[in-house]
Amino acid sequence: MYRYDQYDQAIVDARVDEFRDQVARRLSGEFTEDQFKPLRLKNGLYLQLHAYMLRVAIPYGTLDGRQMRMLAHIARKYDRDYGHFTTRQNIQYNWIKLEEAGDILADLASVEMHAIQTSGNCIRNISSDQFAGAAADEVGDPRPWAELLRQWSTFHPEFSYLPRKFKIAVVGSDTDRAAIQLHDIGLQLVEQGGELGFKVFVGGGMGRTPIIGACIKDFLPARHFLSYQEAILRVYNRYGRRDNIYKARIKILVTELGAEEFARQVEAEWREILPLGIDAPVAEIERIEGFFAPPPFETGLADDVDLSDPDFAVWVKQNVHAHKVPGYAIATISLKPVGGIPGDASSAQIERIADLAERYSFDEIRVTHAQNLVLPHVRKADLYALWQGLRDADLANANLDLASDIIACPGLDYCSLANARSIPVAQALAERLAPIERDPGELKIKISGCINACGHHHAGHIGILGVDRKGEENYQLLLGGSGAEDASLAKIIGPGFTQDGVVEAVDKVLGRYRELRTDGERFLDTYRRVGVDPFKAAVYG
């Protein structure tokens, strides 16, 4: 875990003071809401349908027990006793009082957390692989690079008024668990001739114009990491469109110029700034890497797990992944109980997870972009005790990557941008599909309540998009998306449905899949093999 030094702490503390001052000026009437809006939005404070919403950054989705306890404390003291983990590995609180926003930030700062740049047209929270440092397949740990990006992007003087928001993700293995090709910049750690570097993707994104990112550099030497990001951002800041908010993301610039021409402009800019000393020195990389050194793993541990409890066995099969160290495992805590709200956790649950992380996972917790949590370093011998501890807090849902592990945005229940509710659709689908979900196996259903795609519907094996049709909530069905290393965009299959109708339609799609699949095929594989027509026929008759 990264720990702040006096410089990091002073910057975050100064931000708390600044925001307190801005809130006081709003409360005194010195600012109108119009004047206050751009200021609060720089700090993740949104005015939603019913109340202020505060989005707290969880840099690259990594936190410890002390920080988790503070998230529970904030939920209990300032909100309605729960928080919502998001697809950007952050946490949101839905019922915030403006008067208390400064106190919340001060509480966060006391555990080295903040809400800086969790909204606004700037570089947002850096996201990463939830298995970083634990995955058996990684070339290197992406978190030090994500932390370097966090610092570099914090209050960047040139890039705080970009054409539009900007999202960067970093991973360290070929398996992409962070959807890097659907980010403004996606970075993959790679090795070439013994040297570490990055494969650089640019211009991916979802929203109303979904695009898969283009690789503009096969190997960026790690020592030039920051200067190259700076070059990309400068080209975007200068030439990204500002005449139309819907065409302002970098993906539109990359598409309009063509990836090759965009890459050429970045290279030209990079040559200009390379001599300016923008890159952090090796000593700084090593300092940050020191915080992410492996925890003191025991050696000689057994790899056996006693699976005689059948419920436990199901959970292990579904929610536990291989760890790079023998005798250890990665455990994912699903925040998708059937009938629950995807990504929500109560204060008591958040505290329970903090306890379990301290006891069984070297005090480390990760947030996933699929709105679940991970304990990355669990001794296999402790898995049963961990599972019991989770079960007692209703956290032992054995549905990771199955049909009821649905990504859903807050939708019209909370969000002022939404056209339709997402949560009730997720609940109805989970209830319908949970009894049969083990048969299809991996199935990623993703639901957004509007075209902004916070629920990643473009990247769903099955995606659902809520729209407004003449004042009625209407749901479009999309098939064939993926946010993984084989990224693809889901396509709308035909006219939309009511809420009940879309649940029926998904059921029919899965019925058709069961008829068509060959052995071992996931839904996505079958879809890619046979195309959309059989599914259209099943749904529309």
Partner 1 sequence: MVELRFRDDAAVDEPGTTLDGFLDQSNATAVRIEAGEDVRRLLPFLDRLRLVEIAFPTYRDGRGYSAARILREAGYTGELRAAGDVLVDQLWFMRRTGFDSFAPEKALDPAAVERALNRYASVYQRAADGRPPVWKLRHG
Binding site for partner 1 (CB under 8 A): 5, 7-8, 10-11, 14, 17-18, 21, 38-39, 121, 151-152, 154-163, 234, 237-238, 242, 272-273, 276-278, 280-281, 283-284, 287
Nearer CB in complex with partner 1: 22/368 = 22
Q: What is the rounded CA–CA span in Å between residue 281 and residue 227?
A: 12
CB 158 within 8 A of CB 237: yes
Percent of the chain that is helix, strand, coil (3-state, to 5): 40, 20, 40
Nearer CB in complex with partner 1: 26/336 = 26
Nearer CB in complex with partner 1: 3/470 = 3
Q: What is the rounded CA–CA span in Å between residue 446 and residue 515?
A: 23
CA–CA distances in Å: residue 410 to residues 83, 368, 506: 12, 17, 21
Token pair for 346: 């109560």
Residue 501 carries which side chain, given as an amino acid letter? G
User: b/e per residue, 216-232, with b = 16+ CB within 10 A?
Assistant: bbeebebebbbbbbbbb
Minimum gap (Å) between residue 235 Cβ and partner 1 = 9
Minimum gap (Å) between residue 15 Cβ and partner 1 = 8
3-class DSSP string for 51-68: CEEEEEECHHHEECHHHH
Minimum gap (Å) between residue 163 Cβ and partner 1 = 8
Sheet hosting strand 91-96, strand order edge to edge: 45-47, 52-56, 91-96, 82-85, 344-346
The angle that helices 101-109 and 65-78 make with each other, rounded to 10 degrees, is 170
Minimum gap (Å) between residue 331 Cβ and partner 1 = 34
Minimum gap (Å) between residue 152 Cβ and partner 1 = 6
3-class DSSP string for 374-395: EEEEEEHHHHHHHHHHHHCCCC
Other residues' Cβ atoms within 10 Å of the Cβ of residue 5: 9
Minimum gap (Å) between residue 207 Cβ and partner 1 = 19
Residues 6+ apart with CB under 8 A from 257: 239, 265
Nearer CB in complex with partner 1: 87/153 = 153
Residue 449 carries which side chain, given as an amino acid letter? G
Instruction: Give the distance, in angstroms, between the CA of residue 479 and the centroid of all CA atoms in the same chain.
Output: 21
Nearer CB in complex with partner 1: 5/519 = 5
Element (H, E) at 407: strand 407-408
Nearer CB in complex with partner 1: 147/363 = 147
Minimum gap (Å) between residue 477 Cβ and partner 1 = 37
Minimum gap (Å) between residue 153 Cβ and partner 1 = 8
Nearer CB in complex with partner 1: 287/508 = 287
Nearer CB in complex with partner 1: 158/500 = 158
Q: What is the rounded CA–CA span in Å between residue 13 and residue 9?
A: 6
Q: What is the rounded CA–CA span in Å between residue 506 and residue 534?
A: 13
Nearer CB in complex with partner 1: 104/162 = 162
Minimum gap (Å) between residue 160 Cβ and partner 1 = 6
Minimum gap (Å) between residue 378 Cβ and partner 1 = 34
Nearer CB in complex with partner 1: 227/371 = 227
Minimum gap (Å) between residue 118 Cβ and partner 1 = 17
Minimum gap (Å) between residue 254 Cβ and partner 1 = 18
Instruction: Give the distance, in angstroms, between the CA of residue 164 and the centroid of all CA atoms in the same chain.
Output: 19
Three-class secondary structure of residue 213 per DSSP: coil
Q: What is the rounded CA–CA span in Å between residue 342 and residue 404?
A: 9
> Which residues partner with 497 through β-bridges?
475
Nearer CB in complex with partner 1: 174/284 = 284
Nearer CB in complex with partner 1: 24/136 = 24
